[in-house]
Structure 1
């Protein structure tokens, strides 16, 4: 009898790994934020005039397209200062304040949260009591009191805004660190004789960093809006320095005669906060393993 032909084993094709494309909203948010960062870094190069340069003969000149000319693309304010130049320098100041305050708040909150998770007991109760006290205290009233009593400077202003929402990072870091300590990798590293600095700095913190980064992207627009509100009230950035909030504050008096003074910085504030929030939502979806 003829032998039956040997059948080749079936070939199993590995599924193709599809590359995730960035959504259009994330692309727009990243592009806008990159434009804002480039504007802040290159403000001295791309600004057409100094932000304090006066031209009284061209005061309240309209922007181009509304009767203006190429000398002042976005028009001028009540003192003849170029709105575009002031907007460029205001972006740099506002982003500097927002980045600095966000990093300060994240550093303070994360450090106290890890401290509470490590020592537990009395230290943890003291940190939680401080967190509850800070969360119950109206920050706007605290900011008004501190700025009115100590005066205003850019360093004090950034440090004060850094105290905003630090308790959010403390709660997140404490909860995630306690959960990480209960897992096997932290106990294994501890049994190998690693110091607490090594355990938290090289093992626990990198594993909880994604959640903290998302929290920072959510707190960043809050800092921008808070700085704008305080500058609008005259308690933020002081002349001759300028920021987005101070430009809105000065422009409110000329809203009917020269609305471009207020609309330009207000539009930047709205678009920037929207883009940071959208980027935070996208990062949360990408970094959260439960959503994959």
Structure 2
């Protein structure tokens, strides 16, 4: 008969996979790989993503009888697809991360202002939120980039204004709820300034819910950046991004599909992983689901 230690080990394994489902572990592993490439991509890339070798143009990947010198093949200019893929991951995910931070900062700030000021000021902020939610952001982005031109800082800040209205609504609602609780009223009665009440006491208590909202907003920013870059309004040459690689590869989808399929697969798996992690964090930390 199995010993007690065997049953204990099995119960520990079941408890571990109940707390950390395999899909979530795979999602975290993928995100860790992406973070590693962002930090050390220059060391991992086999060559410069701008290096051209016209003699090796449109070389097949190694799994299609190609050479390991270009593991994922080359594009129409003989540039190594793997090297460009690593550079694209670094640029696209960095833009998405910075844009999400901008969106969270704008949303939390306006949400807290609405909760604190109340009255007409709150109504004005809510009108701005409703107006933002009613306008298709893709059209706004196309108009801004068409009139102001494109640069990487402007593009990142523009994407930072995507999704802030949802975070503002959440921050406002949670802040109003926190004001009615004892800890916020006690600190306020002790003479703390509004900035201290909201920054040091209310924000840490609602940070988990805001973090979940950010993780759900992050993959949407990745897809938006990819779509704008695909249209030629995002990251401009000689820099590259996942959406730009898909855009360049669409003309070679029949003769060299690996040019487009490699970045497209990265976009799909990355957005899926972050969405899974966001749903998991919501189930674990969102107090409204308890």
Of residues 241, 244, 251 in structure 2, which corresponds to 1:243? 241
For 1:290 and 1:148, the matched residues in 2 are separated by: 42
2:182 corresponds to 1:184: yes
Specify the SS of the correspondent of 1:71. Answer: helix
Specify the SS of the correspondent of 1:145. Answer: helix
What TM-score do you get using the length of structure 2 for normalisation? 0.93
Offset of residue 136 of structure 1: 1.0
Q: 2:148 aligns to what?
A: 150
Offset of residue 290 of structure 1: 5.2
Which deviates further from its counterpart, 227-236 or 129-138?
A: 129-138
The alignment of Structure 1 onto Structure 2 pairs a total of residues equal to 277
Q: 1:269 aligns to what?
A: 267
Specify the SS of the correspondent of 1:111. Answer: helix
Q: 1:8 aligns to what?
A: none
Q: 1:9 aligns to what?
A: none
For 1:245 and 1:196, the matched residues in 2 are separated by: 43
For 2:288 and 2:138, the matched residues in 1 are separated by: 36
Q: What CA RMSD, in Å, does the superposition of the two structures yield over aligned residues?
A: 1.4
Of residues 41, 44, 50 in structure 1, which corresponds to 2:42? 44
Specify the SS of the correspondent of 2:70. Answer: coil
Within-5 A mapping of 1:132-151: 132-151=130-149
Q: 2:110 aligns to what?
A: 112
Which deviates further from its counterpart, 17-26 or 213-222?
A: 17-26
Q: 2:8 aligns to what?
A: none
Structure 1 gap ranges (5+): 1-16
Query: Per-residue displacement from partner, 1:148-179 (whole Å, max 9, x unpaired)?
Result: 11110000000000001110011000000000
For 1:65 and 1:108, the matched residues in 2 are separated by: 46
Which structure would you say has the larger Rg?
1
Within-5 A mapping of 1:125-274: 125-274=123-272
Q: 1:78 aligns to what?
A: 76
